[in-house]
Structure 1
Amino acid sequence: MNPKPELVLLTGDQGFYGQTRKAWVSMDASVLEKHLSSLGYPVQRYTFQELYNRNILLSGKTILYTFSQKENVRQYIRDVIFNLSKTNKIIPSLDLLLCHENKGYQELYKRELGMTGLKAWYFSGLQDIDAYDISYPVVLKTVSGSNGKGVFLIPDQKSLERQVQKLTHVGFWTRVDLFRRRHFRKRTYPDYPHHDDYVDYLQYKEYITRHQNFILQEFIPGLTYDTRVLALEGKFFVTRRHTRKGDFRASGTKKFDFDFTPDDALLEFASKTAQRFNTPFLSMDIIQDGESCYLIEYQASHFGVSAITKSRGYYIREGSTWTFREDKQTVEQEITEALDRYLTRGIES
């Protein structure tokens, strides 16, 4: 029997490992560590800051790490994990870390994995948008945001231009500075004889304008819900999220249904999708249009866990059929056991 690898559990300050009830509420890192030890894994636990600032060098380890919804902490985690990924196995993968709160990279990574589905475009501004064959209406999404924030239904190109301009609003003092440069600033630069004040003003205006990266995604009309599927290495927890009347968005409505029977097509799609990502934890937002299923968003660690805490159980594939099993475990148990199944599968394959 192959020995189990040594694990490193990386947490935020004060042992934060997101998330449970809300993004700011941690799992119990001590319980995670205890469960992993009971499954036979030697475990070392550090915070991100002490790992670097105490000069702890890791190589050849398997590292399970937390995420964060705080932007500065996310950047800190990205820096540390990118460095560790050069000599260690990190879970979730570096690509899935880059997907966290970044819907743009989510689309790039889906394409890399060969996942076709809804048409999507990724832009950093409105430049050259006429060059693309975009069918309206279309859904505009900012690259970050949750609970339906930063998501808009766009009926035509003029509406798209107005919405992007709202997202990139220029402040009052910036407008004053631009007016001054345009009408009152006269400069000469002996070292740059081709300098032109008006051209410089245009270039500077473009340089300081706050741009907004955004996704345009094909719109499927008439949908009244989407399905959140939480895949934990062979276990599939499902939640249906209903839209409000007159709104196409299911995210953020808080209209959850934990007591329904998903059809086999959705479960098969979720299973095949999870296999492509090859990660022990994957939260998927899936929509269905007839027999077709589409992955619209996903996260690999810092996701809502109500599908675990409020569902009666989970679905599992047994042979060629799907079976529902009633079961209740803590979030910490589900996470550690999914990691164990994932690592065991890797060792045995």
Structure 2
Amino acid sequence: MKIAIHPRENSFSDSWTELCEEEGIDYTLVNCFDNNIISILKGYDVLLWHWHHTDSKAKLIADTLMYSVELMGLKVYPNYKTSLFFDDKIKQKYLFESIGVPSIVTNIFFDKQSSSNFLSKTSFPKVFKLKGGAGASNVRLINNISQAKEINNIMFDTGISLVSSHTSDAKAKFKKIKSFKDFIEKALRFPSVFLKKRKLNKSFNKEIGYTYFQDFLPNNTYDIRIIVISNIAFGIKRMNRKDDFRASGSGNIDYDISELDTSIVNKCFEIKNKLSLQSVAFDLLYNKDKVEFVEMCHVWSRKAYYPCKGYWDSELKWHNNLDFKPENYILTELIKGKL
């Protein structure tokens, strides 16, 4: 079996190439942006490409390319169904509602007047989100009608940049600094990160012409992230940032989820199977005594999950120790024809 891998630093591809080297699996690094990529891939059996949601070039062609390559007879990751709803909360709202996923009440409007009418009658706080972004970027708590009107005007008049500036969330970022050495390291990185963000902003159009408001669920000190790959599931609790309602991107992780009701895990398996996804990561919050789905994606920050204490199989049996890299399970299951 011949495997083609598009490399990207600090992505799943690092682990995939390491596994291929260790196991003697025949692989080649390819450039999915190559004009001749279709002819290059002839003779291969598998294509793997962990593309990033802030890569404007990848967002332009990735879905179409992977689907086209599938038509050539190759196994691909991610396939079209798996990546279709990636980094698009608007699509996910309609998906969840269509298949009956117990999700947080979400209201989306595509004209200013309808949005204004909703805001004049609703209660606060509400959570405002842009359709894209990870790590709780582009997420704001709207506490009153005044703030709501302001964001409504911005979204229908001037728009908001999808890529947040490096100075956004400055207070939260400052709180993460644990030492003077850490402060110096961040200060030295600032110019390069600033230039990178500036370049990214030029790659994406502003988000404009819609509003996305989600009900705020109080009294949550963490959210739950459950990842399902093929026939296994594992997860973490992501603790909220200090003095903040957001958990994603906090970097404060609790790996003990032993008290989690397995019916929640079972629901994650059910949704994954119903949608025929190769992998999926669900974010969940408590709404009083029940759990509701917030959003989903198909990839994750790989190293954050290496310390997971174990995993559930599809029969909901718990297995101690996650003694393999989850992203490598994608490759091995793909080779076996199970993904």
Structure 2 counterpart of 1:337, one-letter code = T
| CA RMSD of superposed structures (Å) | 3.6
Matching residue within 252, 255, 267 for 1:255: 252
Matched to 1:295, the amino acid is: F
CA distance in 2, matches of 1:18, 1:124: 37
Residues 1:264 and 2:262 are matched in the alignment: yes
Q: Percent identity, aligned pairs only?
A: 18
* Displacement of 1:255: 1.5
Residue 327 of structure 1 and its aligned partner are, at CA, apart by 3.4
Per the alignment, do residues 73 and 126 of structure 1 end up closer, same or farther by CA in structure 2, a change over 3 Å counting?
same
Q: Distance in 2 between matches of 1:164 and 1:8?
A: 48
Whether 1:315 and 2:312 are equivalent positions in the alignment is yes
> How do 1:92-171 and structure 2 match up within 5 A?
92-130=78-116, 132=118, 134-166=122-154, 170=158
- The DSSP-based 3-state class of the residue aligned with 1:146 is coil
C-alpha displacement at 1:85, in angstroms? 5.3
Kindly indicate whether the alpha-carbon contact (under 8 Å) linking 1:126 and 1:161 is maintained by their aligned counterparts in 2. Answer: no
2:322 to 324, 327, 332: 327
- Could you give the per-residue CA deviations for residues 242-279 of structure 1, whole angstroms, max 9, x where no partner exists? 11354221112222111341232332232223222322
Matched, 1:19 2:17: no
- Report the Cα distance in structure 1 between the residues aligned to 2:235 and 2:110, rounded to whole angstroms: 34
Q: Which residue of 1 aligns with 2:235?
A: 238
The residue that corresponds to 2:186 in the other structure is none
Q: 2:18 aligns with which of 28, 31, 45?
A: 31
**Closer, same or farther: CA 238–331 of 1 in aligned 2, 3 Å:** closer
Which residue is 2:284 aligned to? 286
Paired residue for 2:181? none
- 1:49 is paired with a residue whose SS is coil
Q: 2:235 is matched by which residue type in structure 1?
A: V
Counterpart of 1:205? none
| Aligned CA distance change for structure 1 residues 153 and 279 (closer, same or farther; 3 Å) | same
Tell me the TM-score normalised to structure 2 length: 0.70
Contiguous gaps of at least 5 residues in structure 1: 1-5, 21-25, 172-207
Separation in structure 1 between the aligned mates of residue 144 and residue 268 of structure 2, nearest angstrom:
32
Q: 1:111 to 1:295 in 2, by over 3 A?
A: same
User: CA offsets, 1:316-336, max 9 Å, x none?
Assistant: 354xx5323223223453332
Q: Secondary structure of 1:220's match?
A: coil
Using the alignment, how far apart are the partners of 1:9 and 1:218 within structure 2? Answer: 43
The residue aligned with 1:177 is none
Whether the 8 Å CA contact 2:102–2:293 is kept in 1: the answer is no
Shift of 1:224: 1.2
Measured after TM superposition, the shift of residue 58 of structure 1 is 5.6
Shift of the alpha carbon at 1:311? 1.6
Mind listing any 5+ residue stretches in structure 2 that lack a counterpart?
Answer: 160-204
> 1:64 offset after TM fit, Å?
3.8
Say which SS state the counterpart of residue 48 (structure 1) adopts: coil
What is the distance in 1 between the residues matched to 2:150 and 2:2?
50
Contact (CA 8 Å) 2:306, 2:325: kept in 1 or not? yes
Checking the alignment, whether the CA contact within 8 Å between 1:36 and 1:336 is kept in structure 2 is no
1:241, CA displacement in angstroms?
0.8
Partner of 2:107, secondary structure, is strand
Residue by residue, what CA displacement relative to the aligned partner does 1:21-77 show, whole Å, maximum 9, x if unpaired? xxxxx5244335457875xxx867632133735744769966443222322332132
8 Å Cα contact 1:106/1:298 also seen in 2? yes
**1:69-109 Cα distance to aligned partner (Å, 9 max, x none):** 32233213234235445555644332432322222222233
Secondary structure of the equivalent of 2:135?
A: coil
Q: TM-score, normalised by structure 1?
A: 0.68
Number of residue-to-residue matches in the alignment:
289
Q: How much has 1:114 moved relative to structure 2?
A: 3.7
Q: Which residue does 2:296 correspond to in 1? A: 298
CA–CA distance in 2 between the matches of 1:151 and 1:315?
31
- The question of whether the paired residues in 2 share the 8 Å contact of 1:258 and 1:310 is answered with yes
Paired residue for 1:52? 36
Residue type of the alignment partner of 1:326: N
Q: Tell me: CA distance 1:113–1:84, structure 2 relative to 1, closer, same or farther (3 Å).
A: farther
